[in-house]
Structure 1
C-alpha cells in the first residue's frame, strides 16, 4: 500500500484497522466499524489493511496482533489499541482525537 502515508495525512481523522481474514475478533470489528462510519460520516476515513497481504506495512507499524486499530490526524498517530473496541468507545476516541 504505497499511498498509506498520503491516506493518513488527510485533515480529517483516519482510523486504520489492521486485520486478518482468519481472525475471529477482526470479524467482530467489521460491523462495528461500519456503524462508526454510519454515525460519523465524512468526519472520519476508515481504512482496512489485511496484514497477510501487507506484511511490510504491518511490520513497519509493529502490528503484533490483530485487530490493531490506529487513529491518525494530519499524519500523526493520536491513538492505538489492539483488540475489539466498542462503537461508542471508538466514536468518543475519534471525536476527542480529531480536535
Structure 2
C-alpha cells in the first residue's frame, strides 16, 4: 500500500500496476480533488491480483473502490463524475 497508509480503512482503494497510464490518470484526478487512497499493486502481489479479479470479474487496472463500492476503471470513474455520481459517493451519501 502507498499514497496514504493509516490505521483507519481508506475510503478509496485503487488496484494498480507500475506501467498503467490509466492508473496514473486516476490517481492524478483524485489528487487534484484533494483525495487520498490506498494503492494495491497487483504486479507485485499475485494474491492481490486474484482477489481483485474475484471481486470485480475484471483483469484490467485500475480497479477503483470508493467506500466499498466498486466504481470500475478510470473511464468508469470519469463517467460517474460527469453524471454527478462521484461526489455523493465520496461524501458517503447513498
* TM-score, normalisation: structure 2: 0.63
Structure number with higher strand proportion: 1
Indicate the RMSD between aligned Cα atoms, in angstroms: 2.7
Q: Which has the higher contact order (CA 8 A, sep 6+)?
A: 1
Mapped contact 2:15–2:41 kept (Cα < 8 A): yes
Q: Which runs of 5+ in 2 are unaligned?
A: 2-6
1:68 correspondence with 2:68:
no
CA shift for structure 1 position 80:
2.8
- State the aligned residue count: 79
Which position in structure 1 is the counterpart of 2:4? none
- What secondary structure does 2:11 align onto? strand
Distance 1:47 1:16 in 2: 5
* TM-score, normalisation: structure 1: 0.60
Which position in structure 2 is the counterpart of 1:4? none
